[in-house]
Structure 1
Amino acid sequence: MIPHGIHTIDTGFLRPQFDAAYLIIEGGRAAFVDCGTNHSVPRMLAALAANGLVAAEVDWLILTHVHLDHAGGAGELMAQLPNARLVVHPRGARHMIDPSKLWAGASAVYGEAVMEREYGRLRPIPAERVIEAADGHVVDLAGRPLRCIDTPGHAKHHNAIHDARANVCFTGDVFGLSYREFDTARGPFVLPTTSPVQFDPDALHASIERLLALQPEAMYLTHYDRVDDIYRLAADLHEQIDAMVALAREAHGRPDCHAVLVEALTTLYADRAQAHGWTQGRDALDALLHMDIELNAQGLEVWLDR
């Protein structure tokens, strides 16, 4: 039985079990939390069909934030959902209505060809279908309240979603990354994400604590899926945020800062994974986390410069 009508959807982005979206069903109505890229839209619609629903029965698409692995497909998905409205942090709303700056910024990093291949061209969403969800905004899904919680630290335009019925949080990226390949007998492994350009360690610490204060039973991460044992994971995140900041400060000002930081982060995560009982070694860890390590290093460097 699916607990509380919460279904995990693998969006298919990059590799299996890397990027999740969620379908919440209540009283024959549905809400999506995050949506992956344009290429994920068929998977989102297939999840509806697998649960006996049609597109017209979706009331909401709720975004944790507007990074493209979470929200790149929002315009294409909304075009398929005739009755849905988009719920997004006030700082992210304009980028969904006019995604040109979002596209330009990401293209400057990745290049047009990669953007087209990995994400697809971003489709605007009519302003009248977009709801700006300030802190505490409640989305009503057939009488089931889903409360938006302003949770900066990873991004200034980040909301987590507290589902009081299930007593869980949908955390986007604010509760870190926990890939199932790193699970051991000790449970899930977690690491923070400090990707560019709005990492703020103090805000991230505070956001994690704000979610813990709700005393949820579990967290649903975009990367990837449900995790329990949340108090241990939160302690691990706090320790690593502080360790990553210290490594960034040590590397700051060096001509080879980026390379030094990538190496130091790889060592940090490899040592922690080994202590967690993960036995596949540094090379396997680097293969799974290479992109995340690169982005974390970039985000830490932007934070240092700021």
Structure 2
Amino acid sequence: MWFSPRENYIHCRMTTTIDCEYVMPKVAAAYLLHCGDKACFIDNNTNHAVPLLLAALKDNGFKPDDVAYIIITHVHLDHAGATGLLLEHCPKATVIAHPRAAPHVIDPSRLVQSAQSVYGEAEFKKLYGTIQPVPESRVYIPADGEVMQVGDTELQFIYTRGHANHHFVILDRKTNSIFTGDSFGIAYPMLQHGSRPFLFASTSPTDFDAAEARASYAKIVATGAAQAYPTHFGVWSDLRAGHAMLSEHMTQIEKIFEALKSGDTGSAEPYAFARSAIEAWFAGQLAERGINLTAAEQQMLGLDIDLNAQGLVFAAARARKKAAK
């Protein structure tokens, strides 16, 4: 593995990790797969990352015409926000998406409307730009477990619920690497400098399901992949240790979820209760490892704590509604 002089991507044999510089460096990645004379992107972040993706393509000896596929693990905009714009630059490429993600790639209006309601129109524009639709004729939907020949490698698509119902992971059989999106946790480099590394689960709205997440972790490890590439961020080389870490985190998440579901939050309203409990758990994990974060890094991690709290509150409300029927 070596760092490019451009400092925004990392080379590791047949995979290039591209830093999309989302919010701050080394938070969100896109992956460029070298498949002989063909190239594939896995995840693409936002429109603002497109110049970085095209520069990485050129610096690795590829042309836009060489891009065979633009693959998205799921449709959340920090993973797939640049799909339409990137496709315009890659005239021979086809977008590969989960069957539940494809409609939102073809017509992103509902996705945009939902995100704008959260961020506001001005902040949405700043973060994501204008989301371009993708022609239906340029979208391919693989079946669960399907294997595709791409250049000199084979890619297998494995559906993984838990984080999102429209999520799959991609196993590159040539390098025995698995590209996990958000289905195998978040592993920011800023969290890897302590006595032992730190990987945590993402429980963001609106599809989080703890049982499905656990099943997906097991499914990913069962592939026998030598390393995982989560979108946040870079290579994770010990899947069994990662699985144990995520399982430990899931146990804590389930306790918070059950308290929210039963209304056992004391005098605190649900979001405040969830956020406080998650923040306390994170603080203990960081202290245990001797990880000290800068103010900017603490702010970044705070965004994940917010999203995780929102996701658990949403999941608990959904569970209560289902139980009341």
- Does residue 173 of structure 2 align to residue 164 of structure 1? yes
Which residue among 195, 199, 202 is the counterpart of 1:190? 199
Given that 1:266 and 1:286 are in contact with CA atoms closer than 8 Å, whether structure 2 keeps it comes out as no
Question: Aligned-pair distance for 1:185?
Answer: 5.2
The corresponding residue for 1:90 is 99
The corresponding residue for 1:287 is 299
Instruction: From the superposition, tell whether residues 96 and 272 of structure 1 become closer, same or farther in structure 2 (CA, over 3 Å).
Output: same
Which residue among 253, 261, 269 is the counterpart of 1:256? 269
Report SS of the residue matched to 2:281.
helix
Which residue among 287, 309, 314 is the counterpart of 1:302? 314
Instruction: From the superposition, tell whether residues 279 and 290 of structure 1 become closer, same or farther in structure 2 (CA, over 3 Å).
Output: closer
Which residue among 34, 37, 45 is the counterpart of 2:46? 37
The corresponding residue for 1:19 is 28
User: Is the deviation greater in 151-160 or in 22-31?
Assistant: 22-31
Q: Which runs of 4+ in 1 moved over 2 A?
A: 1-4, 137-140, 184-188, 248-255, 283-288
Instruction: From the superposition, tell whether residues 186 and 168 of structure 1 become closer, same or farther in structure 2 (CA, over 3 Å).
Output: farther
Q: Which amino acid aligns with 1:85?
A: T
Which residue among 111, 114, 124 is the counterpart of 1:115? 124
The corresponding residue for 1:103 is 112
Distance 2:92 2:254 in 1: 44
Report SS of the residue matched to 2:45.
coil
Q: Which amino acid aligns with 1:244?
A: I
Report SS of the residue matched to 2:178.
strand
How many residue pairs get matched? 305
Q: Which amino acid aligns with 2:213?
A: L
Q: Which amino acid aligns with 2:206?
A: V
Consecutive unaligned residues in structure 1, runs of 5 or more: none
The corresponding residue for 1:213 is 222
Distance 1:221 1:187 in 2: 18
- Does residue 271 of structure 2 align to residue 271 of structure 1? no
Which residue among 63, 83, 88 is the counterpart of 1:74? 83
Root-mean-square deviation (Å): 1.6
Question: Aligned-pair distance for 1:137?
Answer: 2.2
Q: Percent identity?
A: 38
Given that 1:270 and 1:285 are in contact with CA atoms closer than 8 Å, whether structure 2 keeps it comes out as no
Consecutive unaligned residues in structure 2, runs of 5 or more: 2-10, 319-325
Given that 1:150 and 1:160 are in contact with CA atoms closer than 8 Å, whether structure 2 keeps it comes out as yes
Question: Aligned-pair distance for 1:3?
Answer: 3.7
1:121-158 Cα shifts (integer Å, max 9, x gaps): 11010000000122112232203111110000000000
Given that 1:180 and 1:188 are in contact with CA atoms closer than 8 Å, whether structure 2 keeps it comes out as no
User: Is the deviation greater in 182-191 or in 142-151?
Assistant: 182-191
Distance 1:108 1:183 in 2: 34
- Does residue 59 of structure 2 align to residue 50 of structure 1? yes
- Does residue 155 of structure 2 align to residue 146 of structure 1? yes
Q: Which amino acid aligns with 1:276?
A: R
TM-score (norm 1): 0.95
TM-score (norm 2): 0.90
Distance 1:285 1:184 in 2: 13
Question: Aligned-pair distance for 1:37?
Answer: 0.4
Report SS of the residue matched to 1:121.
coil
1:20-41 Cα shifts (integer Å, max 9, x gaps): 0000112121000000101111
Distance 2:311 2:125 in 1: 23
Report SS of the residue matched to 1:226.
coil
Q: Which amino acid aligns with 2:17?
A: T
User: Is the deviation greater in 47-56 or in 185-194?
Assistant: 185-194
Q: Which amino acid aligns with 1:293?
A: I
1:163-212 Cα shifts (integer Å, max 9, x gaps): 11111100000111111011135443111000000000000000000010
1:74-98 Cα shifts (integer Å, max 9, x gaps): 0000010000000000000000011
Report SS of the residue matched to 2:101.
helix
Distance 1:280 1:72 in 2: 28
The corresponding residue for 2:323 is none
Instruction: From the superposition, tell whether residues 280 and 125 of structure 1 become closer, same or farther in structure 2 (CA, over 3 Å).
Output: closer
